[in-house]
Structure 1
Amino acid sequence: LRVAASTAAGESSLSDLDDIFAVTPEDEPDTPPVGLTVVDTSPSTTTLSWSPPERANGVIQQYEVLYENQSYVAVLNSSVPRVTLTGLRPFSYYNVSVRAYTRIGHGNHTSDTLTMLSGEDVPGSPSYGLSYVSVSSNEVNVTWEHPLVPNGVITHYSLELRNSSHFLNLTTPINHAQITHLRKFAQYTLVVKAHTRIGSGNHSSDPLNITTLEDEPDTPPQFLLARTFSDYEVQLSWEPPKEANSEILYYIVRVWNESSEVWQNVTDTAVVISVDSESRYNASISSWTRLGDGGVLIYISFSTIDTVPFDPPQNVSLVNLTSSSVTILWQPPTQPNGILLHYTLYYSDNTTVTEQVSFTALQCILHRQ
Structure 2
Amino acid sequence: CRDAGGWYYVLLFPPSVPSAPPQLSIVSTSSTDIRLMWRPLSSQHSRGAVTRYHIEYSTLDQVDTVFSVEVRGNETQFTLRELQPNQDYRLRIAAGTGIGFGVPSEWALHQTLANHSMVIFAPTELKVRARVDILNVTWHPSPNHTLVSGYKLSCREVEADESDNGEKTTQTHTIRLRKKARYHLLTGLVPDQQYEVRVWAFNKQIDGAAAVWKGRTDKTHDRGKIYLTACVRKKSSIQAAANSSTSILLRWEKPRFSNVRIINYTVRCSPAGTTNASLVSYYTSSAQEILLGALRPFTRYKLAVQSNGVDVVGPFSGTVEESTLSDRPSTPPEELQLSALDSSSVVASWRPPLEPNGIIISYRILFSGNLSQPEHLWENLSQDGSITSVEVQGLSSDTRYFFKLEASTEVGPGPFSPVKDVHTPLQIYGMCQKVHAIYR
Per the normalisation by structure 1, the TM-score is: 0.47
Kindly indicate which of the two structures has a greater share of residues assigned to helix: 2
Q: Considering fraction of residues, name the structure with more strand.
A: 1
Larger Rg: 1
TM-score relative to the length of structure 2: 0.40
